[in-house]
Amino acid sequence: MTTNIIPDQLPDNVLFTAPPSLPYMPHLPVFAKHRQIEYNRETHAVVDIDLFHEIEKMVFLPSFSPAAKKSFSDPISLLISGPLANKKLVNNPLEKDEQKKLFSEINTQLPQHIFYSVLVDEQSGRIFWHEPLQSIENANIQSLATKILYELQFTTTPSAFVTAGQVELHFSNPHMD
């Protein structure tokens, strides 16, 4: 028996329907709609543990700089990280005598810290560009931090052009540990 199919007699949706792009897959059976979890107070209880203590230490004292582990007994502390940390300071305005003079310019609530991204000119060893990554609203500390940045001088490398890095300044009470 032969059948002749005449396209004019078939409905349009049969002629122009494309096969499905994905093979048919039956739905996966769900065996249990509810699963009870047994609660054991001894294993789930947290007793006298400050869960956020380690996180707070990481936020306030970043671990990328080895100097972050020291106690801030100086009124102004300087942390340098990134490629700039490999350079030595030639001129540090935060020497003991200088710190006392600079610290007298601050009249605000302490401790405070300010974080900069900086670029150092390799010919002069001085910072020529800075951008605050984490700043504070106090204009006195902001201007003092900028003054300290521009007084810093690093060792030079004649073959290089620019060195990038991060500088963090901590302003604290002199006896704060």
Q: What is the mean pLDDT of each successive set of 10 residues along the chain, which is 177 residues long?
A: 65 62 68 58 55 61 46 73 87 70 63 88 91 81 86 87 89 61
Q: Which helix (H) or strand (E) holds 80?
A: strand 76-81
Q: What is the pLDDT of residue 90?
A: 86
Residues ≥6 apart with Cβ < 8 Å to 123: 156, 158
The position carrying tokens 């028996």 is 1
How confident is the model at residue 68, as a pLDDT?
Answer: 43
CA atoms within 13 A on the CB side of 95: 9
Indicate the helix (H) or strand (E) that contains 140: helix 139-151
Q: What is the pLDDT of residue 55?
A: 63
**What pLDDT score was predicted for residue 119?**
93
Judge if pTM exceeds 0.75: no
d(C-alpha 49, C-alpha 57), whole Å: 15
pLDDT at 116: 92
Phi first, then psi: give them for residue 147, nearest 5 degrees: -60, -45
- The pLDDT score that the predictor gives to residue 126 is 92
